[in-house]
Amino acid sequence: MSQEDLNTYSLLKERFEFLFEPELLKEISLSSKLMHFEADNTIMDFGQMITHMPLVLSGSIRVMREDDEGHELLLYYLEVGDTCAVTLTCCSRKSKSKIRAITESQVDLLFIPVEKMEEWMVAYSSWRNFVLESYNIRLDELLTAIDNLAFNNMNQRLILYLKEKVWVTKNAALRITHQQIANDLNSSRVVISRLMKKLEHQGLVKQRRNEIQVLNAF
């Protein structure tokens, strides 16, 4: 094993040693690529060929969907230990991405070649379980996102959005503009401003320029 592979191995072991057997950990270190990204990097885009599967080691990634007119919608976040469901579904065929993935913070992740996916599915039951489990979690997240979209009004969606944001950033002070929120929720700036003003009056948040303080009462 090279020095780089050893680094990958120890990183992997830290986070996944209770999930994968040592031989599998070693295989992953040998065939995957360790990558580091700064915040706001697009690591996957619409129509892009999927050749690797991402496995998040640290940080979080936003997964978006886009309509014909270029309106974006935030679907969910990928966090430590997560992998991308959309990648899983098309691991056997060579297919193109239906989503866009942008780093929310600094991110370390492993890129695993899709050929290895199948190989390990057969060889390691721990891998098989991990993939199936991930698939289930993603499906649940997607259903939650659909429910939110279908049954919640904009005010509820905004509250959920802020909660999620606080959770992934581990910070109650959000560095974000009303316009960015509107983009993520596929709404307009004025509408978000109106709702945010109401939340402020209700004592749930405090606002400064470019910053939203989500208070305990939230």
Partner DNA sequence: CCATTAAGATACT
Partner DNA sequence: AGTATCTTAATGG
Interface positions with DNA (CB under 7 A)? 153-155, 177-179, 186-191, 193-197, 200, 207-210
Whole-angstrom CA distances from 181 to 45, 154, 162, 211 are 20, 11, 9, 12
Of 132 and 190, CB closest to DNA: 190
Of 136 and 202, CB closest to DNA: 202
- Rounded to the nearest whole angstrom, what is the least distance from the CB of residue 97 to DNA in the complex? 26
- Rounded to the nearest whole angstrom, what is the least distance from the CB of residue 153 to DNA in the complex? 4
- Rounded to the nearest whole angstrom, what is the least distance from the CB of residue 194 to DNA in the complex? 7
- Rounded to the nearest whole angstrom, what is the least distance from the CB of residue 208 to DNA in the complex? 6
Of 43 and 196, CB closest to DNA: 196
Question: What's the maximum distance between 2 C-alpha atoms anywhere in the chain?
Answer: 59
Of 43 and 174, CB closest to DNA: 174
Per the listing, tokens 């309509």 go with 67
Burial bucket for residue 192 (CB in 10 Å: 0-12, 13-18, 19+): buried
CB-based contacts of 20, cutoff 8 Å, min separation 6: 12, 28, 124, 126, 127, 130
| Residue 91 identity (one-letter amino acid) | C
